[in-house]
Amino acid sequence: MAELSLRETRAKSSVWLEWTLVGLGILTLLVAPFFVYPIFLMKMLCFALFACAFNLLLGYTGLLSFGHATFFGGAAYFTAYAVKVWGWPPEAGILLGALGAALLGLVMGFFAIRRQGIYFAMITLALSQMFFFFCVQAPFTGGEDGIQGVPRGKLLGMLDLNVSINIYYFVLAVFLIGVFAIWRIINSPFGMILRSIRENESRAISLGYSVANYKLAAFVMSATLAGLAGALKAIVFQFATLTDVTWQMSGEVILMTLLGGIGTMVGPIIGASLVVGLENTLATSSFPVTIATGLTFMVCVLVFRRGIVGEVYARFLGPKGDAKD
Amino acid sequence: MEPPEPSEPRVVLSARGLRRDFAGFVAVRNVDLDLYHGNIHALIGPNGAGKTTVFNLLTKFLPPTSGRIELLGHDITRTSPAKVARMGLVRSFQISAVFPHLSVLDNVRVALQRPGGLSVQFWRSLSALDRLTPRAEELLRSVGLDDAKNRPAADLSYGRKRVLEIATTLALDPKMLLLDEPMAGMGHEDVRTVSDIIRSVAKERAVLMVEHNLTVVADLCDWITVMQRGEILAAGDYATVSRDERVRIAYMGTADE
């Protein structure tokens, strides 16, 4: 009994600590653009949201997708095209991008969830490669050139997004909404079923859950949020290119998530910031970026297998319910 | 095969001519079974006799090569496993099937969540599940697990995991319960607890169990089907079956480990 109450107080204090840290994190992001180059911060936020969306699938449903670039890059194309060619306002363009990603997610998920483990990963990889070649050939993507010079426009016709501080807070707001949505999904009755499927799939079936439907729903949600991140990136950088639909991009988001810690809320954000930061620092030096990220990844796998945040949880805050092994 | 009870008990699950081939090998053939409300039916036989395959066929985890299965008069031969679970046919597994990182209470609540659409609500907070807690606690109390409700299921002893599994299964209020070796690997104390639980739940439903422990089978089960090499060798109550010469040769002779 004593042990139990001790466990409870510890859980309570760690919840307190978590909320304080979340508050501090948001505060930091609010003041950050006055100290750090805003474009860099926005890139970080886009990738952090992308990694969180990916983690919804890997960390909380147990599905390793190797095709998430399709949703990230695909949404960027949809948004860029709608805003540049049709002259849509940015918020409508972003919405279209996210919905387009949802549709792509529905198609890819429909085929992929029929298989498990490595086969699931292979199907998502194959389908995303098909999408890549579609983007190379299709006229509306601009092929090798991509869609350049996308206007940022005015948010709701009022707020001029060409002002860097305006677009920063817009990106931050969308990022926070996206992360909140993921947190809500994970900590919902539906999220409970996802967790039980990850824990023991046949048991979930024997309790009457049509597991495939839940997996597909999680896949589409993850794709939509990844699309939201990609759409946002297209508005920030004012272009959409083939880079974002390559398999390397799918690999990068896996790296970010593993580095930060799968199955934790904060992990993918930290992982994405690290990778983007590393790429930014090395961009000006002659040292090849891919070698550096590769080395980081190896160190991560060898030394802290749970990822940075997962390791912190395990060492200082006691075992966390969601963190898998 | 006469129904064991005189008052015309209701057939819950019936199988006719079940057969399953695996790449040229016939794992199960000509299996007919009738399972009655209020009855505990045992499926026994030496290793490799096809007991687990029959289980997988009845619960639709495997499709039969041929044959027909009816649950309460509905043909379920081609129905998905999740659907038959929703119709009231619920199974346990040979290796204990709990959700290890969820708390004991949450293990039961996951089962209670399905009716009422609670399982698809991704926009609500987890406190939406609080109204299931009293029922979950009641189930845990009925099997003596209420003291462990906040611990992760992985912390439980093997025997108590199996008990939790039964509690989770009961949360669905199944009409037909299939238990795959519920006592395997258990100590004496746990065997008695689980026997009592099975006996009490069988009053309102049909139970089919695969079990190696013949003392348990003799004590608990109303009807016994003996399988060997994928076929039914004999059926009857314990006294009849244990007198059967073929059964003694095939099974009983090697059972006194």
Higher pLDDT, A284 or A319: A284
Q: For residue range A92-132, what is the model confidence (pLDDT) as tens digits?
A: 999 999 999 999 999 999 999 988 888 999 999 999 999 99
pLDDT of B246 reads 84
CB contact (8 A) between residue A188 and residue B121: yes
Do B98 and A184 make contact, defined as CB atoms within 8 angstroms? no
Mutating which of A203, A213, A320 best tests the B interface, going by the most B Cβ atoms within 10 A?
A203
Domain extent, residue A227, equals 38-246
Chain B residues with CB-CB distance to A192 below 8 A: 106, 109-110, 113, 119, 126, 129
Size of interface A-B (CB pairs under 8 A): 105
Chosen from B91, B95, B101, B147 to mutate, greatest number of chain A CBs within 10 A:
B101
Structural domain includes residue A175: yes
Tell if the pTM clears 0.80, that is, is over it. Answer: yes
Mean pLDDT of chain A: 87
* pLDDT tops 80 at residue A315: no
Range of lowest pLDDT (A105-119, A148-162, A223-237, B72-86)? A148-162
Q: What is the pLDDT of residue B8?
A: 53
Give the per-residue pLDDT at A41. Answer: 93
Residues shown for chain A: 325
Asked which of A147-161, A191-205, A220-234, B147-161 is least confident by mean pLDDT, the reply is: A147-161
Question: Going by DSSP bridges, is the β-strand pair B11-22/B25-36 parallel, antiparallel, or unpaired?
Answer: antiparallel
Q: State the average pLDDT over residues B2-21.
A: 76
Position A5 pLDDT exceeds 80: no
Inter-chain CB proximity A193 and B110 less than 8 Å? yes
Structural domains in chain A (count): 1
Which residues does A217 contact at the CB level (< 8 Å), separation at least 6? A190, B120, B122
CB A267 within 8 A of CB A261: yes
- Give the per-residue pLDDT at A173: 95
CA B49 vs. chain centroid, Å, equals 18
Q: Would residue A161 count as lying in a domain?
A: yes
Flag whether pLDDT at B178 surpasses 70: yes
Residue A294 domain-assigned (yes or no) = no
**What are residue B19's DSSP bridge partners?**
B66
- Among B213, B212, B129, B209, which residue's Cα sits nearest to residue B171? B129
Does A282 reside within a domain?
no
CA distance B72 to B184: 30
The 10s digit of each residue's pLDDT in A37-73 is 889 999 999 999 999 999 999 999 889 999 999 999 9
- Are residues A208 and B124, on separate chains, in Cβ contact within 8 Å? no
pLDDT band, very low/low/confident/very high, at B40 (cuts 50, 70, 90): very high
- How far is B219 from chain A, CA to nearest CA, in Å? 28
How would you classify residue A30: left for phi > 0, otherwise alpha for psi between -120 and 50, otherwise beta? Answer: alpha
pLDDT at A2: 39
CB within 8 Å: A210 and B83? yes
Q: Are A194 and A214 in contact (CB under 8 A)?
A: yes
**Interface residue of B56, B59, B122 to substitute, partner A, most A CBs within 10 Å:** B122
Q: Is residue A129 part of a domain?
A: yes
Q: B119–A190: do the CB atoms touch at under 8 Å? A: yes
For residue A29, being part of any structural domain is answered with: no
Q: B109 pLDDT exceeds 50? A: yes
pLDDT tens, A152-208?
888 887 888 888 888 999 999 999 999 999 999 999 999 999 999 999 998 999 898
The minimum CA-CA distance between B90 and chain A, rounded to whole Å, is 6
Residues of chain B contacting A, Cβ within 8 Å:
59, 61, 80-83, 85-86, 90-93, 97-103, 106, 109-111, 113-114, 118-126, 128-129, 150, 152, 168, 172
At B4, is the pLDDT very low, low, confident or very high (cuts 50, 70, 90)?
low
Distance from CA of A215 to the nearest CA of B (A): 12
Tokens describing residue B248: 């003694």
Asked if residue A204 belongs to a domain, the reply is: yes
In a domain, A121, yes or no: yes
Residue of A nearest to B118 (CA): A189
State residue A82's pLDDT score. Answer: 93
Mean per-residue pLDDT over chain B, rounded: 86
pLDDT attached to residue A323: 38
The three-class DSSP label of residue A298 is helix
Tell me the percentage of chain A whose pLDDT exceeds 90.
53
ipTM (interface pTM):
0.80
For the ranges A66-70, B8-12, B193-197, which has the lowest average pLDDT?
B8-12
